[in-house]
Chain A
Amino acid sequence: MKTTNWNRFFVICVVASVVAAAAGIQLIRIQNIEGAKQILEDSEAYQGINRMIYPERGSIYDSEGRLLAGNEVVYEVGLDLRAIQQPETVAAAASSVLGLDYATVLGYSQMTPGNGNPYFVVLDGFASKDKIDQLEVIKDDYASRSVKRGEVRPNLEGLVWTANNKRSYPEGTLASNILGFYSFRDRTDGIGYFGIEEAYDDLMAGEPKLIYSAIDPNLLTSVEEVPPGVTVQLTFNREIQAMTERKLDEALKWSGADNGTIVVYDPETGEIVAMATAPRLDPNEYWNYSEIFPNPKPYNSAISSTYEPGSVFKVITMAAALDAGVVTADTTFNDTGSITVGGATIYNWNMGGWGEVDMTGCMQHSLNVCLAWLGTELGPDRFYSYLKSFGFDRNTGIDLGGENHWPLKLPGDGLWYEVDLATNSFGQGISVTPIQMVTAIGAVANEGKMMAPHVVKAMVIDGKQYNVDPVVVGTPISAETARTLTQMLVDSLENEASSALVEGYSLAGKTGTGEIATPLGYTNSATNTSFVGWGPAEDPKFLVYIWLEKPEISIWGSEVAAPVFSDLVEDLVVLMNIPPDNVRLSLRYDGRNIAGLE
């Protein structure tokens, strides 16, 4: 090669190197100019996005694993104003499918984004999947249309939808007093109200997480999982709950009562088997709350309403008297028809005297005078000490939101008078909630052991199930007292030929008729009627508590609440698979298993 060529080659190399060096220097310079940092910071926004991920809210199941509260998919349909190409087409599709006003949607579609106008307009926050399917069909139809030259293909550009979870209660009003509701319309700040939704709100909501997702696939990292909220399994069986609610509704209709509550409880474990109250709200339409529950009507009267229970409370007084050794089942009392305590005279419900009666007779005839006498024999210290042991001075701690209790008047309080000892003994002048009564009387049905009432059977956390074990919260009376009193109440029901009896089953129970306090004093024209019963008596599997408020058909618990108990237990024993006593006992004594219903 000639020297001239070599020189040319050399010059080209030098020029290329200089250009490359200049480009390199320019690159370095650009990266260090004043705006470079800003450009770099701005560019980070395009590398990925930070998104707040809200975990799926935990579901609620009944004891048999049937879904009571879950999540369904709904869609948020909106207009991305920057992307809209054909406002009229978008408005026509959105209005026809979503049922919106055409002119309104068209108005939104024609808005220019920015300068005070939004970039995105939400048309429907909770569109169903069916509606989205219809929009998809329209979209596909437009996309597949053949158009002639000069014609414009219709499109739905700018009409966008994203899937979201929405709380759903497939059983509607069933057990809504236990479940409560979740304000799902508030997508980011929804709260659980009442019942399980309130008591376990934090656990079921889970922990929202800010997650960074890279747009650049080269920067992709494994997406951090957001675990769902805690799933809860309840103690009650859906079929028994449905039956109990049906019985309550029938009882309200039949008796003309204002309100009612029925609690079915397992005295051995403290599990709530069913809890029916009226009225009930469909949690899928929780915005009707104030209409269905005008102030001050409680959402769940079983745990929130206090009332003077009347004679069902005699079970507690008799338990205390037997346990303290003040009387035995055979102790007799000469009922003259009245007793004076603290300057006030107490009468029986029929204003008459019953002569010589034993303690079973006192319970059978529901004698106020006899029970007031027992109260005085116990004395205020022992009597109220027993009431505290039975938990009447506090909430039961049931795992439902909204529990309430009325403060117990005690000697020494400014509000307590000597006559209260007598009236409290037969359930007047003392206010209790049904769940307090259930828990306390549950001790009588469970060998003296009082169990913590609860509705949560198990929780599923991070894919593992944690069972809730029964908890003994106290032993207010001995096992012997409990057995004696149960037998007394079995005998009293049978002697009385009560309408609460169920053929084939030994049941213990007590009626209650509580007078209602008014500003002018107590009235017996409107009463609270109650019944508490449990069975099978020698090995109780259920305890049923019934409260019907101001029935019209009769003022007496024995005529209103007792037949409801009988009617309910007839179905309950079938659903709980409890055979009649003769079958059950013969199988048990033979050491064989009970096979179940055929």
Chain B
Amino acid sequence: MKKNLLQAYKQAPWRTQLQWIGIFLLVLVGIAVVAGVYLMISGRAAATGRRIQNLEAEILALEMEINDLRTRYAEASSAKSLSERAEALNMTLLDPLEAMYIEVPGYIPPSQPALAPPPAVEDISTPVLLPEFTASLWDWLRLKVFVEPSPTEGPAESAVPEELAPVPTEVAP
């Protein structure tokens, strides 16, 4: 009798085995999903990283090219070449006694050119890499899931944590 009762409440063995197989497959699928997500994110991060590397190399090349062009421009407009061009156009230096001086009310002589702003002007530069590229997966999830409000709650910038917030670029007076 006791055996019969147990048999009545016990699941069929094939059902138990199917449940086990199901759980196993579920765990397997879960691992595969996590691995897939991780692979996708790390793949994208790697591609982005490579792009950044290329961009940095491009910046360096462009800086060198700018310097090169600046030097070539200086060569093309050197005192010697300008003097030769002026002579070719039959231009001569003014005789001081032939100069005519006129009064221009309100005229302010041009000040000498400055190469850079004076040290009193402080500017805060934006970091080269945005937080999106430096945040860990966990930081990113925390930002997206727990911190970032829904569009109805206000602008997203207000909720960005301090350590991930973009640095302001305004120039202080």
Q: Which positions in A face B, CB cutoff 8 Å?
A: 1, 3, 5-6, 9, 56, 61, 63-68, 70-73, 129, 163, 165, 168, 170-172, 174, 213, 217-218, 220, 222-223, 225, 231, 233, 238-239, 241-243, 457-458, 460, 463-467, 502-505, 570-571, 573-574, 579-580, 583, 587, 592-598
> Which residue in A67, A220, A458, A502 is a CB contact (below 8 Å) of B70?
A67
Q: 1/0 per residue B123-138: CB within 8 Å of A?
A: 0000111000010000
Residues of B within 8 A of A595 (CB): 101-104, 107
**Beta-carbon contact of A464 and B14 below 8 Å:** no
Residue in A3, A172, A223, A460 whose beta carbon sits within 8 Å of that of B80 in the complex: A172
Contact A464 B71 (CB under 8 A): no
Known: A9-B17, A217-B47, A574-B96. A170 touches B115 (CB 8 A): no
| Between-chain CB contacts (< 8 Å), 15 pairs | A56-B63, A65-B113, A67-B73, A70-B67, A70-B70, A163-B64, A218-B46, A460-B116, A464-B116, A464-B118, A465-B114, A465-B116, A570-B95, A570-B96, A571-B93
Residues of B86-120 at the interface with A, using a CB-CB cut-off of 8 Å, are 93-97, 99-105, 107-109, 112-119
Residue from B52, B74, B101 in contact with A67 in the complex, judged by beta carbons closer than 8 Å: B74
Does residue B56 face the partner (Cβ distance < 8 Å to A)?
Answer: yes
Note all chain B residues with C-beta closer than 8 A to A220. Answer: 49, 52-53
Greatest chain B CB density within 10 A among A73, A213, A243 is at A73
**B101 touching A587 by the CB < 8 A rule?**
yes
Given A6-B13, A72-B68, A598-B99, decide whether A465 and B117 contact each other with a Cβ distance below 8 A: yes
* A220 to B, closest residue via Cβ: B49
The 0/1 profile, CB within 8 Å of A marked 1, for residues 61-85 of chain B is: 1011101101111110111100100
A-B pairs, 10 with minimum CB distance: A217-B49, A170-B74, A1-B14, A67-B74, A65-B113, A220-B49, A595-B104, A465-B116, A170-B75, A73-B68
Contact B99 A587 (CB under 8 A): no
A residues near B72, Cβ cutoff 8 Å:
72, 170
Q: Which residues of A contact B79 (CB under 8 A)?
A: 171, 174, 238-239, 241-242
CB within 8 Å of A: which residues of B? 13-14, 17, 21, 42, 45-50, 52-53, 56, 61, 63-65, 67-68, 70-75, 77-80, 83, 93-97, 99-105, 107-109, 112-119, 121, 127-129, 134
Given contacts A73-B68, A171-B78, A233-B115, contact A583 B101 (CB under 8 A): yes
Which chain B positions have C-beta within 8 A of A243?
A: 93
Contacts of B104 in A (CB 8 A): 593, 595-596
- Quick check: B99 and A5 within 8 Å, CB to CB? no
Check A56 against B116 for contact (C-beta < 8 Å).
Answer: no
Contact of B71 among A163, A168, A241, A580 (CB under 8 A): A168
Contact B46 A217 (CB under 8 A): yes
Q: How far is the CB of A472 from chain B (nearest CB, A)?
A: 22
Docked-complex contact A171 and B49, CB < 8 angstroms = no
Q: A220-B52, A596-B109 given. 5 additional CB < 8 A pairs?
A: A71-B68, A217-B53, A241-B79, A465-B118, A593-B108
Which residue of chain A is the closest to B77 with respect to CB atoms? Answer: A66
| In contact, B117 and A222 (Cβ under 8 angstroms) | no
Q: In whole angstroms, how far apart are the Cα atoms of A68 and B17 in the complex?
A: 86
Chain A residues whose C-beta falls within 8 Å of the C-beta of B93 in the assembled complex: 243, 571, 574
**Shortest distance between the CB of A8 and any CB in chain B (Å):** 11
CB A468 to nearest CB in B, in angstroms, measures 13
Question: Contact between A466 and B68 (Cβ–Cβ < 8 Å)?
Answer: no
Which chain A residues border B63 with CB–CB below 8 Å? 56
- In the complex formed, the residue of B with least CB distance to A171 is B78
What's the minimum C-beta distance from B32 to chain A, rounded to whole angstroms? 16
Please, how many angstroms separate the alpha-carbon atoms of A1 and B14 in the complex? 4
Q: Do A67 and B71 have beta carbons less than 8 Å apart?
A: yes
Given contacts A65-B113, A217-B53, A596-B109, contact A573 B96 (CB under 8 A): yes
A571: chain B residues at CB < 8 Å are 93
Whole-angstrom distance between the alpha carbons of A243 and B93 in the complex? 10
| Cβ contact of B68, chosen from A63, A129, A223, A502, cutoff 8 A | A129
Report chain B residues within 8 Å CB of A570. Answer: 95-96
Given contacts A71-B68, A73-B68, A168-B71, contact A242 B94 (CB under 8 A): no
Docked Cα-Cα span, A217 to B49, in Å, equals 5
Query: How far does the alpha carbon of A204 sit from the alpha carbon of B75 in the complex, in Å?
Result: 21
Chain B residues near A573: list those with CB within 8 A: 96
- Residues of chain B within 8 A (CB-CB) of A580 are 96-97
Q: Which residues of A contact B105 (CB under 8 A)?
A: 592
Asked whether, in the complex, the Cβ of B115 is within 8 Å of the Cβ of A504, the reply is no
Judging by beta carbons under 8 Å apart, are B109 and A174 in contact?
no
A222 touches B116 (CB 8 A): no
Chain A residues closer than 8 Å to B52, beta-carbon distance: 217, 220
Known: A73-B67, A242-B79. A574 touches B103 (CB 8 A): no
